[in-house]
Each structure stands twice: as structure tokens, then as C-alpha cells.
Amino acid sequence: MSQTSPGVAIIIPAKDEQARIGATVRSAAGLPAADLVIVVDDGSTDRTAAEATAAGATVIAHPRNRGKAAAMETGAAAVTAIESRETARPAPRALLFLDADLEDSAAKAAPLIEPVINGEADMTIAVLPAQSHAGGGRGLVVDLSREGIARATGWAPRQPLSGQRCLTRSAFEAALPLAPGWGVETGLTIDLLRQGYRALEVDVSLHHRVTGTDWKAQVHRGKQYAGVLRALVTRGVRPSPPSRLRRTRA
């Protein structure tokens, strides 16, 4: 990183991740150009905040769970507040959002940073490999998001729900307020592409906890589906019904 580079602030939304957040923070802190790691503890009931602090992160706590979009906005506001107290900063930092459960693999997120700070993209989106643990659903939520983004913008991302993203500050601010709930990534992509910002998917060897297949996991996916659907509808996108998504996938 040159002396005139804006640098990168890492923002990690986290809820009840005491077992993983420490490794994620320590690994992310070593990324090139990263000089600030902020964990937004989104209403955790365990030792997430304490573990993140011990690992060296600046921790901002929500007293109650407010959801990922709110945590992302809180983290970005904290970066702005920190920068307002600094002197001789060449430009606002880019923002790298990482999930709290990446653990040691967070150290491999560097390919997301380079295109943004080099001016090649306004937002990068991680494309993850097959995960090391079994699990996952049938792809209905992913298909809904991908098709909706394609209808809205003409671009069909490979992994539209990926939460591992790096953005310029101007791109992030152009997307505010973020879509609430589980529609945040879908809404973010549509809003930026519609405004002419450049998005780039990047293959990155990141690994995280995979949602299972039990009843609790199915409820989680139902909430995801509803969140993505809401993001699409509020942006004037009329997606296909689930039955057509299944046929398309098959």
C-alpha cells in the first residue's frame, strides 16, 4: 500500500460468535492495507464482545439485535467517526465486510481489496468454493436473489447472497439506507448497479459455518426468502414464483 492509498477498514457484524470471532479478527487484521478492524456486536448474549476486544478489534455494541444491515451501517458510521479524529488521512478508507465465522480463512480475503483500492471496481463480491462442512439448502433463496438482480440490472451474479464484500466509501454511502433483514446483499447490489457503480465477483478461498438441514435451518431459510423477496418488491422487481425457480434450477 502506498502512502497515498486510502487503506481499508474491516467491519464484522457478529451475534453470538464467541467461539469464532477471535480467530476471525486476528486473521483479518493481517490483511494488506487493513489498519482498522471494527466488530459490531449485534445484541449477543455470549462473550462475543469480550473475545473480539481481546483479539484487538474496536467493538461497537447494539444493546439488542437489530440485524445485519443495521450492524453494517453502525460499523461504517464508526469508521467515519474515527477518521474525523485523524489527521493527514489521504482519503476515506474502503470498507471490507466479513462474516464473523470465517475464522482463519479471513486471512485469504485480500483479493477482495485490491480491485477496490486500485480503482478497478466500486464493489467486489466474494465467490466462495465448496465448503468443507456438509449442509446447505436447495438454492431457492439464491435463485430468487440472482434472478431478481438480473431482472433489475441485467447482471446475474454467481453468489448473490455473499456477505463478503469490499466497497469504496462513496459506493457504500450511495446505497444507504441498506435493505433491512436478509435482503441486504440483494438490495445493495441492485441499488449500486442501477446508479452505475461497478461490481466485480472474485473467487476467494473463504470458509464459514454452513446452515444445516434441520427444522431450525428451514425456518432460517424461510426468513431469508422473505427478506430477499421484500428487497426485490420494494425495488419494483417482480420475481418468479418458487415453482418456476425450481424448474429453472432443475
Residues 114 and 233 reside in one and the same domain: yes
Beta-bridged to residue 126, according to DSSP, are 202
Q: Give dist(CA 191, CA 149) in Å, integer.
A: 10
pLDDT in tens, 113-146: 999 999 999 999 999 988 655 445 558 899 999 9
Residues 212 and 119 reside in one and the same domain: yes
Q: Which among 73, 104, 135 is the end of a domain?
A: 104
Tell me which residue range forms the domain holding 68: 1-104
From the list 174, 172, 184, the residue with the least C-alpha distance to 96 is 172
What CATH number does the domain containing 62 carry?
A: 3.90.550.10
Residues 53 and 123 reside in one and the same domain: no
Residues 114 and 226 reside in one and the same domain: yes
What pLDDT does 209 receive? 64
Residues 94 and 114 reside in one and the same domain: no
Residues 91 and 127 reside in one and the same domain: no
SS (H, E, C) the chain: CCCCCCCEEEEEEECCCCCCHHHHHHHHHCCCCEEEEEEEEECCCCCHHHHHHHCCCEEEEECCCCCHHHHHHHHHHHHHHHHHCCCCCCCCCEEEECCCCCHHHHHHCHHHHHHHHCCCCCEEEEECCCCCCCCCCCCHHHHHHHHHHHHHHCCCCCCCCCCCEEECHHHHHHCCCCCCHHHHHHHHHHHHHHCCCCEEEEECCCCCCCCCCCHHHHHHHHHHHHHHHHHHHCCCCCCCCHHHHHHHHC
Domain count, the chain: 2
pLDDT in tens, 104-113: 999 999 999 9
pLDDT in tens, 147-202: 999 999 999 999 999 999 999 999 999 999 999 989 999 999 999 999 999 999 99
Residues 100 and 116 reside in one and the same domain: no
Q: Mean per-residue pLDDT for 195-224?
A: 80
Residue 90 has pLDDT above 80, yes or no: no
Q: Which among 104, 139, 160 is the end of a domain?
A: 104
Residues 115 and 59 reside in one and the same domain: no
Q: Which among 104, 135, 165 is the end of a domain?
A: 104
Residues 22 and 83 reside in one and the same domain: yes
Residues 116 and 30 reside in one and the same domain: no
Is the separation of the CB atoms in 179 and 187 below 8 Å? yes
Residues 138 and 48 reside in one and the same domain: no
DSSP state of 213: S
Residues 93 and 148 reside in one and the same domain: no
